Amino acid sequence: MHNLKKQPYILAIESSCDDTSAAILKGNIVLSNVVSTQQVHKEYGGVVPELASRAHQKNIIPTVDSALKRAEISKSDLDAIAFTRGPGLLGSLLVGVSFAKSLSLALNKPMIEVNHMEAHILAHLINDGSPTPEFPFLCLTVSGGHTQLVIVNSPLEMKVIGETIDDAAGEAFDKISKIMELPYPGGPLIDKYAKEGNADAYKFPHPKVGELEFSFSGLKTSVLRFLQKEVRKDEKFIENHLNDICASVQKTIVDILVNKIKIASKKTGITRIAIAGGVSANSELRKRLLENTFKWDVFIPDFQFCTDNAGMIGIAGYYKYQKEIFVDQSVVADARLRI
């Protein structure tokens, strides 16, 4: 029998994209959160799925070992194993799912499947001293693969009320930075260069889509056309105006995101606003939300829990553990798993 009275030790594993990560939680506290970011994709301008799964294979055992070591516990202390079942790249997910299944069998410990998108949101419930939103709250999840507005009614009840019809917000950052020949992932670099730039230097159009829908492929095309035109006149245009271009692109993306939150908050009457996912690390997005022009209660996760990490998988696992929602060996990875 599982002892549900004491705070459980949960090992969490994340391998949905290009970060191999393992974390140990005791209850809702993260004792260790180890992330090995794969460097191999940098030169390709994006994640190469085949290389990602190979790197996960290589990293997973040392990453788990180091999470256990940092938490100062051993495998036999574990009460459950949580893992990302999807969404993500199938070859990457397979590594984490198969590892979790083997370890669960070897240790005879229960397994908990976690939806990566729900986990990004539940990162807000990690007990790290930062304020935790009460339910219901509205969450904008913005990552490399997804852009969603979600009403969160409880750790196990969420409803997507808006999403992107094409590229994700992080993808827009990455694709635009690729046009400028910056290495992958470009989001953090655009953020960095934008700090020194004039955000009003260039204007890019907002998409015309449904009230709660997002679209970023048009922005990418308009930046591409604009840069091609300018480079024809001055081949050093990008190099000489990099900071201004980055600041203007970043402002456009952040304006689009904040406008959608505004609409969603008005429609739902919810003023507790959270952001999650890799793009929630963006300093302009954080700044704009914290200016608090709209009188929202704003919740922003600690940096280490914004981009892909197993700590967030662990907290999602913890809420399922409390309700004994376990899975057996027949579980399979699902690249298109939805909230």
| Residues at the interface with ligand KG4 (CB under 6 A) | 17, 143-145, 170, 173-174, 185-188, 191, 277-279, 281-282, 307-308
Interaction between residue 20 and Zn ion (CB under 5 A):
no
Q: Is 280 in the site for Zn ion (CB under 5 A)?
A: no
Asked if 35 and 305 count as a contact pair (C-beta separation under 8 A), the reply is no
H or E element in which residue 259 lies: helix 237-268
Closest residue to ligand KG4, Cβ-based? 278
Q: Give the nearest distance from C-beta 235 to ligand KG4 in angstroms.
A: 27
The site partner of 282 among ligand KG4, Zn ion, none (C-beta below 5 to 8 Å per kind) is: ligand KG4
Between residues 188 and 207, which has the closer beta carbon with respect to ligand KG4? 188
**What's the min distance (Å) between Cβ of 206 and ligand KG4?**
18
Question: What is the size of the binding site for Zn ion (CB under 5 A)?
Answer: 2
Residue 79 carries which side chain, given as an amino acid letter? D
Q: Single out the segment in contact with Zn ion by CB under 5 A; choices: 36-44, 45-53, 294-302, 305-313.
A: 305-313
127 torsion bin: left (phi>0), alpha (psi -120 to 50), beta (else): beta
Residue at 36: amino acid letter: S
Binding Zn ion (rule: CB under 5 A), the pick from 169, 308, 320, 333 is 308
Which residue lies nearer to Zn ion by CB, 84 or 265?
84
309 binds Zn ion, rule: CB under 5 A: no
Q: Which does 301 bind (CB under 5 to 8 A by kind): Zn ion, ligand KG4, none?
A: none
133, two tokens: 């939103």
What's the min distance (Å) between Cβ of 292 and ligand KG4? Answer: 20
Instruction: Categorise residue 315: left if φ over 0, alpha if ψ from -120 to 50, beta otherwise.
Output: alpha
Distance CA 78, CA 12 (A): 10
- Residue 229: other Cβ atoms inside 10 A: 10
Strand partners, 24: 11, 32
d(C-alpha 133, C-alpha 100), whole Å: 30
Residue 220 CB, nearest approach to ligand KG4 (Å) = 13
User: Got the DSSP string for 105-146?
Assistant: HHHT--EEEEEHHHHHHHGGGS-SSS--PPSSEEEEEE-SS-
**Contact by Cβ (8 Å): 281, 225:** no
Contacts of Zn ion in 140-199 (CB under 5 A): 143
CB of 278 to Zn ion, least distance (A): 6
Residue 92 in the binding site for Zn ion (CB under 5 A): no
Which option in Zn ion, ligand KG4, none does residue 279 bind, with CB closer than 5 to 8 A by kind?
A: ligand KG4
Which residues are near Zn ion by CB under 5 A?
Answer: 143, 308
